[in-house]
Amino acid sequence: MTDGMLFVGLGNPDKEYAGTRHNLGRDVMRLFEAKGLDMALVSFFYPATFMNDSGTAVADRLRYLRLEPRRLLVAHDDAELLLGTMRLECGGSARGHNGIRSVIAALGTPDFNRLRLGVGRPPAGEDMHNFVLGQFSEEERKVVAETTQQACEELEQFVRKAGTKI
């Protein structure tokens, strides 16, 4: 499958984490996959490991599919971006994201595609750990719903530009 692509949605596997900020990448990727577009050369993967230990599972799946890291796209939450913003880019540092740090370490390179989905910073006095593992407020969910649709459109365009059948 050397012409294919691997799309990974990072998040935590347990039900208690469903709908949390930290699972936004996983949630967006699942919604994109559910659109049912004809993407014969795109494989979707949701590691059964916790976010911070995702790297080995992602690297193993990439090797199994015989794909180079440049054929990988990882969707993940990003506290450095404001809620409702996103960036699709290739390479760069982990920017403090332990799940991305794990993927970089397992692949031995930072040169893979990322869909960074903004969740914003915690309010004053709240620590990052509790913030990213927390649920979105009702108001935030409205923003997330809109951003999710935009992210799905970005992913569709990415696949088309990459020359993969869609």
Q: Return the residue matching tokens 């750990």.
A: 129
- DSSP letter string over 31-59? HHHHT----TTEEEE--SS-GGG-HHHHH
Is the residue at 22 inside a domain? yes
**Count of domains forming the chain:** 1
Could you tell me the two tokens for 53?
């230990």
Q: What is the CATH number of the domain that holds 104?
A: 3.40.50.1470
Beta strands at 72-78 and 5-9: parallel, antiparallel or unpaired: parallel
| Known binding residues for tRNA | 17, 50, 52, 98
Is the residue at 39 inside a domain? yes
Is the residue at 87 inside a domain? yes
Greatest C-alpha distance within the chain: 48
Is the residue at 35 inside a domain? yes
| pTM of the entire predicted model | 0.94
pLDDT tens-digit profile, the chain (166 residues) = 467 999 999 999 999 999 999 999 999 999 999 988 777 789 999 999 999 999 999 999 999 999 999 999 999 999 999 999 999 999 999 998 999 999 999 999 999 999 999 999 999 999 999 999 999 999 999 999 999 999 999 999 998 887 755 4
Is the residue at 166 inside a domain? no
Respond yes or no: is residue 97 known to be catalytic: no
Q: Return the residue matching tokens 């404001």.
A: 82
| Known binding residues | 17, 50, 52, 98
Q: Catalytic residue among 22, 76, 97, 129, which?
A: 22
Domain extent at residue 52: 5-161
